[in-house]
Structure 1
């Protein structure tokens, strides 16, 4: 064995040792997302313990955790969370289904796009908060007005991205389907939907976020239960810790919903060869 072979072998061994150390030192992927919240909570708790922040305006995380546990133990948390989930889920399903169907419809036909899309795009620019007084006048402050407001907010992101996805399909693939004499159903299921699927899933993620965002607004305009109502009621009685509990609940539930859609996205788009970083 020559000297060069020994040198190359030692370098390869050192390289494998370094790689092994890097793998042992590397944190699990799921842990990276918790680093910033844990650091912020630790600094927050320390500042509250040292009296650097007002306990009435910014209660310590330990006090917020105690309020969270109290709400869970007396059953109020389950009631509020269930009502919020029903409202958000119903509004999202109604708005998303309408947005998906209209997005495919206007994306497929030029006549539908010229006729319907300008009006929808014009309505998209109207602030949803400006529609709330009109909804109250028309439908009152009952459950229907709340679900309809959430549905309206969920409609536009999915409609816009579905329309964009249908229009982004490769024209050459359309020509291939004509040669193969695809029926309308085959064209829809084998070309249009798969080609538009990345945009559709992105629209679903944005619609889910919009539904939780508008849920908070809807529940503050005349509800008797729900996380938004809990926050509003706590504000009246200056219970800042319960307000923070509601905010954290919205953040956690919204994150879980977004993670569920991202999981479905990874499974449905395994064929996608895009840059992952």
Structure 2
């Protein structure tokens, strides 16, 4: 039998190469090594949120629709005030056949998307200027904190005076709501970067561009996506507001016209469209966030 004897740094001899003895029966089993996120899988199952439910976020809305359908079928709801889901479907079919639904949806989506793009771009630029520079912070942050406390509804008279009641005013109102949401969350993520990362980057001799790309961008992305989710909601809220004010097209205008003739079915079609677009856009942002931030291991993973 061949035995290899080696001495460790403390002078203790260890024997390798021979038959190994089994650990005593009373010895505890070895603990599994933590994964990349720092959580042991067994502990994550016991203390975490549990397994994800496929299409789980649809359960709440579906439950509300089922309750609405049951209450309408039981005659508990006055159809003059709240139409049944069946009536809403018939109203949507009539709007689709006439072409009004497609035109309204196309107009509303173009307004919301344009305002969202402008607001996100402006919010990111201002957050970078304020979060990475004391001079930028002095000029930008105070102004936007004041804007955050002023609702867009309060700005409407002034914006109408400046821009009229056309498409420009509607897009600007949406963009302002989006800008604040993106700025606040992205700026908070930037100023919360650990100072030790800055010291490490300086010790490694990183240039300004390398520091932004390798340290600032990854650290700010979670805050940016949080702001983006809020911005998408703000875009739809702003769209609802501007389409109720002297609009001649869009989902909000369609709902306003239906209100004049007490057509609750069409009003509910508009509400369902707003809710569907809001839910779908939030789900899309979540999907992109999961792909971009796949390096993170969180309790929801």
TM-score normalised by L of structure 1: 0.86
**What residue is the counterpart of 1:119 in the other structure?**
143
1:194-252, CA deviations, whole angstroms, 9 ceiling, x for partnerless residues?
A: 11100001111111110011101011111111111111111111110000000010000
Quote the offset at 1:28 in angstroms: 8.3
Quote the offset at 1:29 in angstroms: 2.5
Q: Indicate how the Cα distance of structure 1 residues 273 and 42 shifts in structure 2: closer, same or farther if over 3 A, else same.
A: closer
Quote the offset at 1:190 in angstroms: 1.1
**What residue is the counterpart of 1:102 in the other structure?**
126
Quote the offset at 1:91 in angstroms: 0.6
**What residue is the counterpart of 1:170 in the other structure?**
194
**What residue is the counterpart of 1:73 in the other structure?**
97
**SS at structure 1 position matched to 2:267:** helix
Which segment drifts farther, 141-150 or 32-41? 32-41
Q: Indicate how the Cα distance of structure 1 residues 250 and 117 shifts in structure 2: closer, same or farther if over 3 A, else same.
A: same
Distance in structure 1 (CA, Å) of the matches to 2:223 and 2:127: 11
Residue of 239, 242, 263 corresponding to 2:287:
263
Q: Which has the higher helix share?
A: 1
Distance in structure 1 (CA, Å) of the matches to 2:190 and 2:97: 49
Is residue 2:242 matched to residue 1:221?
no
Q: Indicate how the Cα distance of structure 1 residues 191 and 257 shifts in structure 2: closer, same or farther if over 3 A, else same.
A: same
**What residue is the counterpart of 2:235 in the other structure?**
211
Residue of 54, 63, 68 corresponding to 1:30:
54
**What residue is the counterpart of 2:9 in the other structure?**
none
1:116-149, CA deviations, whole angstroms, 9 ceiling, x for partnerless residues?
A: 2112111210111111111111111100000000
Is residue 2:272 matched to residue 1:248?
yes
**What residue is the counterpart of 1:18 in the other structure?**
none
Q: Indicate how the Cα distance of structure 1 residues 34 and 273 shifts in structure 2: closer, same or farther if over 3 A, else same.
A: closer
Count of aligned pairs: 251
Quote the offset at 1:270 in angstroms: 1.1
**What residue is the counterpart of 2:73 in the other structure?**
49
Q: Higher Cα Rg: structure 1 or 2?
A: 2
1:158-198, CA deviations, whole angstroms, 9 ceiling, x for partnerless residues?
A: 00111111111121111111122212211111110111100
**SS at structure 2 position matched to 1:129:** helix
Is residue 2:214 matched to residue 1:190?
yes
Distance in structure 2 (CA, Å) of the matches to 1:39 and 1:117: 43
**What residue is the counterpart of 2:35 in the other structure?**
none
Unaligned stretches of 5+ residues in structure 1? 1-26
**SS at structure 1 position matched to 2:54:** helix
